[in-house]
Amino acid sequence: MKIQSIRGFRDILPPQSGIFASFEAKAREVFARYGYSEIRVPTVEMKELFVKSTGETTDIVEKEMYAFEDAGGRHLALRPEGTPGVVRAYIENNLHAQDPRRKFFYVGSMFRAERPQAGRYREFEQIGMEYFGNAHPAADAESIALLASVLSAAGLTDFRADINSLGCAQCRPVYRQNLIAFLNSRKDALCENCKKRIETNPMRALDCKTDGPELFRTAPAQEFCPGCAEHFAAVQSLLKETGTPFEVNRAVVRGLDYYSRTVFEFRSSAIGAQDAIAGGGRYDALVGSMGGPQVPAIGWALGADRVVSLLEKNAAPQSGPGVFVVSMEEATHRTAFRLLAQLRAAGVCADGGAFAQSMKAQLRAADRCGAKFAVIIGGDEMQKRAAALKNLQTGEQKEIPFDDLPSILKK
Ligand code: AMP
């Protein structure tokens, strides 16, 4: 019986896995430069955490969550996004105790039972950040600039940043009522989903794939309270100071319940239908509503799989090991293996040990894995205590004393 991977779940193989790793490493560097520390939170949480924070009526929770009951009868879920777990950790570990202003980033798998297609998986990787305890527009501008920096550091240039404001607990309900009245006035023309959304989540109608574009043109525009208007203007002016290009786009409403004020999405036309690479926004009420202190926050998550698919197009071929150690006969295997260990200990990228194969086959293996040099050891070499060092590109061969090999190959 051959067991296969599950639909929507995939193996990430070399060289793609290497591109993931180098993208993550670059992201880590940028986070450090902006003063963020890594947080690692569980993959599995109480289901209720996501229902309460992400929101009961969101697609993620309503349709896409991997929820299950464990043997102890607890209702659990695989995390569909990063923010709820980080917020829980912030509250549970009293991370606000010394100073509510804390900055975290995370890297990890998220799980959503969406219909799989190119660029859309059921397990996918997000890199994200959460910035707690700063209500000032400077935090919004920093978050957005940070996202652009992470993408640029990875070598991505082809993306656009759209920002918007959703208003706050004062001005949003007014807008919500206006929008509900507007949607009700044309209920017959709406898709089934949007009909249901009128009462549960009317803002979502604006980013509905079917009705959104038309509604967006005709729906009443949001009016902000003075505080929100001022905040959004300041975000834009501070963001300009960072040199991050962006556009205001009223269609960015985000799918989740917890956002307030600034929201943003980054897209790239270079990846096809699934063009969203990242999204986020401010969530000033979430920490308080989850039982924590009234601490404002802002965060985003980017889809690493989608970024990697863009980077893959221009990725340089992965380089092989510098050296491949070849042993000609039974009597030389131990010495060859010791040299291999010495090379590695000296910091040389070395492979070898394919001693079950003939010398010719070992040299072929050296070529196939992309090694630049072969170190060849046979009876003669044992006697002279010097290996044959073969340049696999030019075919040129030299004799190098065993003792000198590590230092010469290190160079
Ligand atoms: P979201 O939390 O939905 O705003 O997602 C943030 C980013 O994660 C998106 O912009 C995508 O790049 C990525 N993403 C979301 N869902 C998936 C998925 N099913 N497969 C791959 N990437 C995804």
Task: Please say whether the beta carbons of 115 and 63 come within 8 A.
Answer: no
Name the amino acid, one letter, at 188. D
Q: Percent of the chain beyond pLDDT 70? A: 100
Statement: residue 15 has pLDDT above 90: yes
Statement: residue 316 has pLDDT above 90: no
- 123 pocket-lining for ligand 1 (C-beta < 6 Å): no
- 125 pocket-lining for ligand 1 (C-beta < 6 Å): no
Sign of CA dihedral 239, 241, 247, 249: positive
Q: pLDDT digit string (tens) for 123-148?
A: 999 999 999 999 999 999 999 999 99
Alpha-carbon distances of 209 from 87, 154, 161, 352, rounded to whole Å:
30, 30, 20, 54
Q: pLDDT digit string (tens) for 92-123?
A: 999 999 999 999 999 999 999 999 999 999 99
Cα 303 to middle of ligand 1, angstroms: 5
Task: Please say whether the beta carbons of 174 and 168 come within 8 A.
Answer: no
Cα 124 to middle of ligand 1, angstroms: 8
Q: Give which of 291, 301, 286, 302 is closest to 133, Cα–Cα.
A: 286
Residue 282 CA to residue 169 CA, distance in Å, equals 13
Q: Which atom of ligand 1 is nearest to the CA of 301?
A: 6
Statement: residue 42 has pLDDT above 90: yes
Helix H or strand E encompassing 282: strand 276-282
Provide the H-helix boundaries in 93-157: 137-153
Mutate to test the pocket of ligand 1, among 124, 160, 277 (most ligand atoms within 8 A of CB): 124
Statement: residue 206 has pLDDT above 90: no
Task: Please say whether the beta carbons of 324 and 350 come within 8 A.
Answer: yes
- 10 pocket-lining for ligand 1 (C-beta < 6 Å): no
Residue 43 CA to residue 339 CA, distance in Å, equals 43
How would residue 59 be classed by pLDDT, with cut points 50, 70 and 90?
Answer: confident
pLDDT at 239: 98
Statement: residue 202 has pLDDT above 90: no
pLDDT at 270: 86
CA angle, corner 316, sides to 315 and 321, nearest 5? 130
Cα 115 to middle of ligand 1, angstroms: 13
- For the chain, the first-to-last Cα distance in angstroms comes to 50
Q: Give which of 167, 197, 168 is closest to 182, Cα–Cα.
A: 197
Helix H or strand E encompassing 304: helix 304-312
Task: Please say whether the beta carbons of 194 and 207 come within 8 A.
Answer: no
Cα 119 to middle of ligand 1, angstroms: 9
Q: Which atom of ligand 1 is nearest to the CA of 112?
A: 19
Mean pLDDT of the chain: 94
Cα 277 to middle of ligand 1, angstroms: 7
pLDDT at 211: 86
Cα 114 to middle of ligand 1, angstroms: 11
Token pair in block for residue 400: 């190098």
Q: Which atom of ligand 1 is nearest to the CA of 120?
A: 20
DSSP string, 378-399: -HHHHHHTEEEEEETTT--EEE
Pairing of strands 262-267, 276-282: antiparallel
Crossing angle, helix 304-312 and helix 16-33, to 10 degrees? 120
Statement: residue 357 has pLDDT above 80: yes
Task: Please say whether the beta carbons of 91 and 81 come within 8 A.
Answer: no
Statement: residue 359 has pLDDT above 90: yes
Hey, is 59 helix, strand or coil? helix
Task: Please say whether the beta carbons of 297 and 283 come within 8 A.
Answer: yes
Q: Which atom of ligand 1 is nearest to the CA of 81?
A: 2
How would residue 315 be classed by pLDDT, with cut points 50, 70 and 90?
Answer: confident
Q: pLDDT digit string (tens) for 254-299?
A: 877 788 999 999 999 888 777 899 999 999 999 999 999 999 999 9
Q: pLDDT digit string (tens) for 391-404?
A: 999 999 999 999 99
- 327 pocket-lining for ligand 1 (C-beta < 6 Å): no
Nearest CA to ligand 1 atom 22: 303
Token pair 């990787």 is at which residue?
125
Residue 177 CA to residue 183 CA, distance in Å, equals 10
Q: Which atom of ligand 1 is nearest to the CA of 254?
A: 4
Statement: residue 328 has pLDDT above 90: yes
Cα 144 to middle of ligand 1, angstroms: 17
Mutate to test the pocket of ligand 1, among 115, 127, 305 (most ligand atoms within 8 A of CB): 305
pLDDT at 358: 97
Cα 281 to middle of ligand 1, angstroms: 14
Statement: residue 11 has pLDDT above 80: yes
How would residue 352 be classed by pLDDT, with cut points 50, 70 and 90?
Answer: very high
Q: pLDDT digit string (tens) for 160-198?
A: 999 999 999 889 888 889 989 999 998 999 999 899 888
| Average pLDDT of the residues in 222-229 | 93
Phi, psi of 63 (to 5 degrees): -120, -25
Q: Percent of the chain beyond pLDDT 90? A: 79
Statement: residue 367 has pLDDT above 80: yes
Residue 81 CA to residue 125 CA, distance in Å, equals 10
pTM passes above 0.85: yes
pLDDT at 123: 98
- 261 pocket-lining for ligand 1 (C-beta < 6 Å): no
Cα 256 to middle of ligand 1, angstroms: 13
Provide the H-helix boundaries in 110-201: 137-153, 171-185, 192-200
Could you give all domains of the chain from N- to C-terminal order, each with its CATH number?
Answer: 16-171+224-312 (3.30.930.10), 323-410 (3.40.50.800)
Q: Give which of 312, 314, 310, 304 is closest to 121, Cα–Cα.
A: 304
Phi, psi of 320 (to 5 degrees): -85, -170
Q: Which atom of ligand 1 is nearest to the CA of 302?
A: 7
Crossing angle, helix 137-153 and helix 16-33, to 10 degrees? 140
pLDDT at 139: 98
